[in-house]
């Protein structure tokens, strides 16, 4: 049996599990924290008692102020059948946390403690059920600024940040997540591929400096029925832009429900010579911004994806709960994961559209 007490052992177990079955990711974190009806005091605790402003809504800071709730949610998703749970660090960069005026040390601690909390919960599960190992993915979310698009409609070259600034923010985040003990990195909800490239470089540079190589999972976001990311790329162009890092998995999450996301996942399944992962929303939000798709509907839709050989990893994004994840896990149990295709060699490039030269 693989030694799950070492990072190398867990990575080997993760890769073995991906060959054996469709893996299950957890679901939404934001919706679950909203259900807790947390107060401003929950977000502040002693550390931010004198903070001048509103901290409520900054869910990442709960890693420091309510770690018990973060651990509880990891446990709930593992209990529901998730193989992989994300750290509560979706907005854990100095750029994103600048909205709350948090210091670099605060942001470092959010990521470090977020990883440690997840690691502790997963280790407890692995001690009890080593035949069904649990893994922790370091969540690296999008930024509120973009490198690919202008911040001023009157100045196409205007940017609020430079590539180096974005890289530095991600480098701090991935370093803290690594130190905290994550098993893989998940760059998710990508709206801007150039931002994603900065995160990829931060991870690769960490490895090149002698740190253990962790799997990279890349998850873009198709924003609407156009079939493009916010920065304008098609699914194939997006893949051509990120495949150089040889990711462990690639796919899409957020923005769409399963019905609207399916054609884009099918396209990625056709072209990607690695694992394909998807975690859609629980349908589209209603007029009140809430999600109405029930767990059975989500489970049924994702069962069809798996049965049709489109995916290797499934989970849920906005609006999904442990009950949704339980239905997905039960629905795809025993389904053979997607076979990774072999594509003929060619020069494949991308701008907004893919370009191939055989």
Mean pLDDT of 318-325: 97
Q: If we measure between CA atoms, which residue out of 24, 27, 22 comes closest to residue 324?
A: 27
Mean pLDDT of 53-75: 97
The backbone torsions φ and ψ at residue 223, rounded to the nearest 5 degrees and listed phi first, read -80, -25
Give the start-to-end residue ranges of the domains of the chain.
Answer: 17-357
84-120 pLDDT, tens digit per residue, is 999 999 999 999 999 999 999 999 999 999 999 999 9
The backbone torsions φ and ψ at residue 57, rounded to the nearest 5 degrees and listed phi first, read 105, -15
Which range among 146-155, 256-265, 272-281, 322-331 shows the weakest confidence by mean pLDDT? Answer: 146-155
What pTM value is reported for the model?
A: 0.96
For residue 358, is pLDDT > 80? no
Beta-strand pair 313-314/275-279: parallel
Q: What's the pLDDT band for 1 if we cut at 50, 70, 90? A: low
Residues above pLDDT 90, as percent of the chain: 91
Handedness of CA 236, 256, 145, 85 (dihedral sign): negative
For residue 337, is pLDDT > 70? yes
Q: If we measure between CA atoms, which residue out of 84, 125, 134, 102 comes closest to residue 277?
A: 84
Q: Is 317 annotated as a binding residue?
A: yes
The CATH number given to 17-357 is 3.20.20.330
* pLDDT value of position 239: 98
CB 34 within 8 A of CB 326: no
Q: Is 63 annotated as a binding residue?
A: no
Q: What's the pLDDT band for 150 if we cut at 50, 70, 90? A: confident
Would you put residue 189 in left (φ > 0), alpha (ψ -120 to 50) or beta?
left
Q: Is 245 annotated as a binding residue?
A: no
Would you put residue 57 in left (φ > 0), alpha (ψ -120 to 50) or beta?
left
Q: What's the pLDDT band for 285 if we cut at 50, 70, 90? A: confident
| Residues pairing with 348 in the sheet | 356
More confident residue, 202 or 2: 202
203-252 pLDDT, tens digit per residue, is 999 999 989 999 999 999 998 888 999 999 999 999 999 999 999 999 99
Other Cβ atoms closer than 10 A to 224:
10
* pLDDT value of position 225: 82
340-353 pLDDT, tens digit per residue, is 999 899 999 999 99
* pLDDT value of position 334: 95
């Amino acid at each position: 049996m693989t030694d799950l007490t070492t990072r190398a052992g867990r990575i080997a177990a993760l890769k073995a599990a991906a060959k054996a079955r469709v893996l299950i990711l957890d679901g939404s974190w934001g919706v679950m924290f909203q259900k807790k009806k947390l107060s401003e005091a929950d977000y502040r605790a002693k550390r931010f008692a004198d903070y001048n402003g509103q901290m409520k809504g900054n869910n990442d800071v709960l890693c420091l102020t309510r770690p018990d709730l973060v651990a509880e949610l990891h446990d709930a998703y593992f209990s529901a059948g998730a193989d992989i749970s994300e750290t509560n660090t979706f907005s854990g960069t100095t750029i994103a946390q600048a909205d709350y005026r948090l210091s670099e040390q605060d942001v470092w601690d959010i990521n470090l403690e977020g990883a440690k909390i997840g690691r502790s919960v997963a280790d407890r599960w692995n001690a009890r059920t080593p035949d069904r190992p649990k893994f922790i993915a370091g969540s690296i979310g999008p930024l509120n600024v973009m490198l690919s698009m202008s911040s001023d409609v009157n100045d196409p070259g205007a940017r609020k940040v430079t590539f180096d600034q974005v890289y530095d923010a991600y480098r701090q985040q991935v370093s803290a997540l690594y130190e905290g003990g994550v098993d893989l990195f998940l760059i998710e909800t990508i709206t801007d591929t150039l931002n994603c490239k900065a995160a990829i470089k931060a991870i690769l540079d960490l490895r090149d400096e002698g740190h253990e190589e962790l799997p990279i999972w890349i998850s873009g976001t198709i924003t609407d029925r156009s079939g493009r990311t916010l920065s304008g790329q098609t699914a194939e162009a997006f893949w051509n832009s990120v495949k150089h890092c040889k990711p462990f998995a690639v796919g899409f999450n957020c923005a769409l429900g399963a019905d609207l996301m399916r054609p884009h996942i099918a396209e990625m399944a056709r072209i990607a010579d690695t694992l394909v992962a998807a975690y859609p929303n629980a349908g589209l939000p209603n007029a009140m911004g809430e999600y109405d798709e029930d767990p059975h509907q989500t489970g049924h839709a994702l069962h069809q994806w798996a049965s049709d050989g489109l995916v290797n990893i499934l989970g849920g994004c906005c609006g999904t709960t442990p009950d949704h994840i339980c239905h997905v896990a039960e629905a795809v149990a025993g389904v053979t994961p997607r076979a990774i295709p072999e594509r003929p060699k060619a020069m494949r490039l991308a701008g907004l559209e893919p370009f191939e030269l055989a």
